[in-house]
């Protein structure tokens, strides 16, 4: 039903997410965090079907735990990750997609269909790639 009077619509920024962690997952602070097919946080890795969530704000160890036994704070934004040596990015990749190699490395291509998207490349420096995770972009 459409509104017929003012509504106090609750707001949140979406910058920090609190996500349930997958069983037996260990995520280090600063890691690129993804969601697996079941919606649980796991460290970034070369795999298809992962959804980039952001940067781990803390270390969490769910080794021996069930899915969702612990949660992790993840920040969305722009972060510098390592540039994959074998599939490196350059200036020509700025404002294009990049892909997850592991929890600290991104690559220029999807690795012949083996990697999930990480985010949008905003800059490439000699020591890494600035990646926007979250925000107004699409793949």
> For the chain, what is the domain count?
2
- If asked whether residues 62 and 44 sit together in one domain, one would say yes
Are 70 and 114 within one domain?
A: no
What are the start-end ranges of the E strands in 1-139?
16-20, 26-27, 32-35, 41-43, 51-56, 60-61, 71-75, 77-83, 97-102, 105-107, 117-125, 128-133
pLDDT at 138 over 70: no
Q: Which of 42, 57, 75 is the last residue of a domain?
A: 75
- Tell me which of 55, 75, 95 is where a domain ends: 75
Tell me which residue has tokens 């070369």.
Answer: 46
Cα gap 111→100, rounded to integer Å: 9
Structure tokens at 46: 């070369």
pLDDT (tens digit, 9 = 90+) per residue, 55-94? 999 999 999 999 999 999 999 999 999 999 999 999 999 9
Separation between Cα atoms, residue 27 and residue 56, nearest integer Å: 7
In angstroms, the CA 54 to CA 99 distance is: 13
- One domain, residues 53 and 36: yes
Q: How far is CA 41 from the centre of its chain?
A: 10
Residue holding tokens 């592991």? 102
- In-domain check, residue 30: yes
Model confidence pLDDT, tens digit, residues 109-121: 999 999 999 999 9
11 found inside a domain: no
Q: Tell me whether residue 10 is in a domain.
A: no
The answer to whether the CB of 36 falls within 8 A of the CB of 50 is yes
* Residue-number span of the structural domain to which 31 is assigned: 16-75
pLDDT value at 32 more than 70: yes
- Do 60 and 36 share a domain, yes or no? yes
The answer on 87 and 50 residing in a single domain is no
Distance CA 89, CA 24 (A): 32
Question: Do 122 and 83 sit in the same domain of this protein?
Answer: yes
- Residue 9 placed within a domain: no
> Are residues 59 and 93 part of one domain?
no
Same domain, 67 and 89: no
Q: How high is the pLDDT of residue 139?
A: 46
The answer to whether position 95 is within a domain reads yes
User: Do residues 62 and 107 share a domain?
Assistant: no
């Amino acid at each position: 039903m459409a509104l017929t009077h003012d509504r106090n619509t609750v707001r949140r920024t979406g910058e920090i997410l609190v996500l349930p962690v997958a069983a037996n997952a260990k995520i280090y602070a600063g890691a690129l965090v993804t969601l697996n097919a079941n919606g649980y946080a796991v460290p970034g890795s070369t795999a298809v079907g992962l959804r980039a969530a952001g940067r781990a704000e803390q270390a969490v160890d769910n080794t021996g735990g069930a899915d969702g036994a612990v949660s992790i704070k993840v920040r969305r934004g722009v972060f510098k990750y390592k540039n994959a040596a074998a599939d490196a990015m350059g200036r020509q990749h700025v404002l294009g997609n990049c892909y997850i190699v592991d929890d600290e490395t991104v690559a220029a291509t999807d690795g012949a269909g083996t990697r999930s998207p990480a985010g949008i490349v905003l800059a490439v420096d000699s020591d890494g790639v600035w990646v926007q995770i979250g925000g107004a972009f699409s793949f």
